[in-house]
Structure 1
Amino acid sequence: MFDPTRDQARRFFIEAWRKQREGSVLTPLESMVVDIVQQHPEYQPLLEDTDAVDHDFAPEDGQVNPFLHLSLHLAIEEQLSINQPPGLKPAFAQLQLRRGNRHDALHDVLECLGEVMWKAQRDRQPPDGAAYVQAVRKRAGLE
Structure 2
Amino acid sequence: MFNPSQDDVRRFFCDAYRKHRNNEILTPLEAIARDWIAQHPEYASELEEVEAALAADYSVERGQANPFLHLSMHLSIAEQVSIDQPPGIRAACQALANKLQSEHDAHHQIMECLGEMIWNSQRNGTPPDGAAYIDCVRRRCR
Query: Normalising TM by the smaller chain, what interval?
Result: over 0.9
**How many residues are aligned here?**
141
Which runs of 5 or more structure 1 residues have no equivalent in the other structure? none
C-alpha distance in structure 1 between counterparts of 2:62 and 2:3, whole Å: 28
1:60 shift after superposition: 2.4
Which runs of 5 or more structure 2 residues have no equivalent in the other structure? none
SS of alignment partner, residue 107 of structure 2: helix
Residue 30 (structure 2) pairs with residue 4 (structure 1):
no
1:85 shift after superposition: 0.4
Letter in 1 for 2:4: P
C-alpha distance in structure 2 between counterparts of 1:73 and 1:63, whole Å: 18
Other-structure match for 1:90: 91
Other-structure match for 2:33: 33
Identity between Structure 1 and Structure 2 (%)? 51
Other-structure match for 1:48: 48
Structure 1 residues 1-143: aligned runs within 5 Å:
1-50=1-50, 51-141=52-142
Q: Structure 1 stretches (4+) deviating beyond 4 angstroms?
A: none
1:61 shift after superposition: 2.5
C-alpha distance in structure 2 between counterparts of 1:64 and 1:121, whole Å: 21
| Structure 2 length-normalised TM | 0.96
Q: Tell me how large the CA RMSD over aligned residues is.
A: 0.9
1:123 shift after superposition: 1.3
C-alpha distance in structure 1 between counterparts of 2:75 and 2:6, whole Å: 15
